Amino acid sequence: MTSIELSKQERGDAIASLKRYFQENFSEEIGDMPAGLLLNYILEEIGPAIYNKAIDDARARMEQRVMDLPGELFAVAFQYWAKVDAKRKARR
């Protein structure tokens, strides 16, 4: 996997969030460049672990859904006459 890429908007939002986090939690401000470098580090070093966890969760969910396909999508065959007979009986 290559590094995680953010859109320009997402990157800007992430940098703004990091700057706010530093201001509110460390009582100091960081500039755009340090916040951008920190973001790069997080995306390169920690991002893959988060990405892998998300893929693992998605795989587990898909496996669960695939295992339940017969229950989810099962269709009872040859029901036409049973429905017709039930309608006829209801009309009497």
Nearest to 3 by CA among 59, 64, 70, 48: 48
> Alpha-carbon distance 25 to 46, whole Å?
21
User: pLDDT of 23-42, one tens digit each?
Assistant: 999 988 999 999 999 999 99
> Alpha-carbon distance 18 to 13, whole Å?
9
Mean pLDDT of 63-71: 88
Provide the pLDDT for residue 69.
86
Provide the pLDDT for residue 10.
97
Average pLDDT of every residue of the chain: 93
Provide the pLDDT for residue 33.
97
Would the pLDDT of 3 be above 80?
no
Q: Can you give the pTM of this predicted structure?
A: 0.68
